[in-house]
Structure 1
């Protein structure tokens, strides 16, 4: 990699500025990393504030907003990466990307956010812990657990004539008919959240914050929706810029490919969820961040994997069957179980989730890293 920038064509510059390619200059890569961080921060602010305002205007609980429109926006990068991998004949990467994001969402994001919330609570003299209502555990949380269990059970058997990248029949796979069942689970989840959203409008109590009074409602809604989608685009663009150029810088300093995959790339596809969750905690809207994580996991398991398996039967790597799938289920059970009694994810619970995730990375590196 060169230290000084060189002139580039307009199309090449466009690919650089949207994070599809990394520049040849280390200095430009560092500049793009800073630009990506700025884009993520500003986009996250717009995204979070507009999502909270949408919850107030529609009288829908923030956790439902987070589990639906927010999670659908932040899961878009995983969907695109997985579909592209499948069309390129790398279906095992699609499954690994989806389940890897679930592991990162619970273990790293929820775990570190719970620790961050505990730190902020001491500074602000407020109650520590990310709020998780019994409704969240029984409702969206149950869909998350059921989705994780069923996709792991599906992956235990070879069906649907799936083949590996080498052209041999896959030992483990997900067939098209199983993908159709996963889409049925997704449809049930969407119907459930819609029903909750509609019913919650009639339960708007006096203790809840009422929507603001505005002169031109149509203009206000248009600005709000525009801010939401602009924020989502900035977060996704910033994440792509940050990951692409961080990988380039890491290779420049001769960091191993395995370490790059376990750190930069693993966190990169979950960076939108991480950004929204952290900013939700800082702004005091923990329920929005929790809903975002739960919804993103349901979508990763059902929408992403099912869409790819419909394109072609997905071969499942042995690591996914023996390690990734069981750890996803373990983390989901730990997250829901630890938050059931106190109806919150305490800093200690966050530390437990983060420890499980770190142990998973160690085992994956030692067991399957060769």
Structure 2
């Protein structure tokens, strides 16, 4: 039964992602907004809802380690797995936006703020409030920095259709419900399957939850790049990671202060820094291809190998 639920949930993820991409294209076309901005805001926030729900639930139950580990793991999976797979399956990715010049700071800033905050071993409520302010500043930056015309390819049929807010909002809600709900059932059914095969509770809790909550980003990004929307795909990951640090950790720490042990989590933190540096290298050299994918997937394998061992 768990296998049936798993397959059905994955189908919901895929159909939900298709709704999100198509309606996001429609909004971008109607308001002449770049696809990167749509990916980094609307889609990124929507696909970060599973992480937010998981971390807020963990924080309310006093499980600080799980709340923080979910964010750290999700950011690692977003960079290594999601972008790695996207670069691997895409034929050509030539974003018109200069991602390194315009957006590389947002790969670094949330990470630097995170390590400053956890030096005392606690992400407190004031830290959480400051993180939420960082999220606001990111949104302001995106819309003040992006005055570009619509970039990338948009479905010709969408350009001919009349824009209807009601229809678009309803389909977006359906898309996010299918994507997020599908991710939730994938986590639960995947966890049950893992237990049948005797995988440890620690691996299930830390890696399946992090991986499961990254599934919306993975599916949405693959669908976006398959439709020729490279800007939207990369924007989704950068925006999701900013949201994971600022919005997810910020909200979770407002519920309860989160404790972080840098000594016991040093390998995961090292992987987090390594993945972020690799992403900066890819953006700087525009390695949106299989070479970039290999770099990211190597880091992913090292991350998973340490977890299994």
Q: CA deviation at 1:313?
A: 1.8
Q: Which residue of structure 1 aligns with residue 302 of structure 2?
A: 359
The range that moved more, 146-155 or 64-73, is 146-155
**Would you say the 8 A contact 1:145–1:329 is kept in 2?**
no
Q: CA deviation at 1:213?
A: 4.8
CA distance in 2, matches of 1:229, 1:196: 28
Q: Which residue of structure 2 aligns with residue 189 of structure 1?
A: 138
Q: Which residue of structure 1 aligns with residue 38 of structure 2?
A: 65
CA distance in 1, matches of 2:33, 2:145: 8
RMSD: 2.4
Match of 1:139, SS state, is helix
CA distance in 1, matches of 2:199, 2:303: 21
Structure 2 length-normalised TM: 0.90
Please, which runs of 5 or more residues in structure 2 have no aligned partner? none
**Structure 2 residue corresponding to 1:41, chosen from 5, 9, 14:** 14
Q: CA deviation at 1:63?
A: 0.9
Q: Which residue of structure 2 aligns with residue 8 of structure 1?
A: none
**Structure 1 residue corresponding to 2:159, chosen from 212, 222, 227:** 212
Q: Which residue of structure 1 aligns with residue 225 of structure 2?
A: 281
Q: CA deviation at 1:57?
A: 1.4
List aligned pairs for 1:1-370, cutoff 5 A: 27=1, 29-117=2-90, 121=91, 128=92, 130-132=93-95, 135-157=98-120, 172-197=121-146, 199-200=147-148, 203=149, 212-214=159-161, 217=163, 220-261=164-205, 264-318=208-262, 322-341=266-285, 343-366=286-309
CA distance in 2, matches of 1:204, 1:78: 30
**Would you say the 8 A contact 2:88–2:293 is kept in 1?**
yes
Q: Which residue of structure 2 aligns with residue 22 of structure 1?
A: none
Q: Which residue of structure 2 aligns with residue 6 of structure 1?
A: none
CA distance in 2, matches of 1:45, 1:209: 12
Structure 1 length-normalised TM: 0.76
CA distance in 2, matches of 1:141, 1:134: 12
CA distance in 2, matches of 1:105, 1:270: 6
Number of positions where the alignment pairs a residue of Structure 1 with one of Structure 2: 307
Max Rg structure? 1
Change (3 A) 1:338 1:30: closer
Greater relative CO, 1 or 2 (CA 8 Å, sep 6+) = 2
**Would you say the 8 A contact 1:262–1:361 is kept in 2?**
no
Q: CA deviation at 1:241?
A: 1.4
Change (3 A) 1:48 1:106: same
Q: CA deviation at 1:344?
A: 4.3
Q: CA deviation at 1:34?
A: 2.2
Change (3 A) 1:136 1:320: farther
**Would you say the 8 A contact 1:109–1:274 is kept in 2?**
yes
CA distance in 2, matches of 1:286, 1:85: 34
Change (3 A) 1:301 1:235: same
The range that moved more, 59-68 or 282-291, is 282-291
| 1:295-339 C-alpha deviation (Å, 9 max, x unpaired) | 000000111111122222210033575233332232122112223
Greater fraction of residues in helix: 2
| 1:110-139 C-alpha deviation (Å, 9 max, x unpaired) | 11221111xxx2xxxxxx3x4455533333
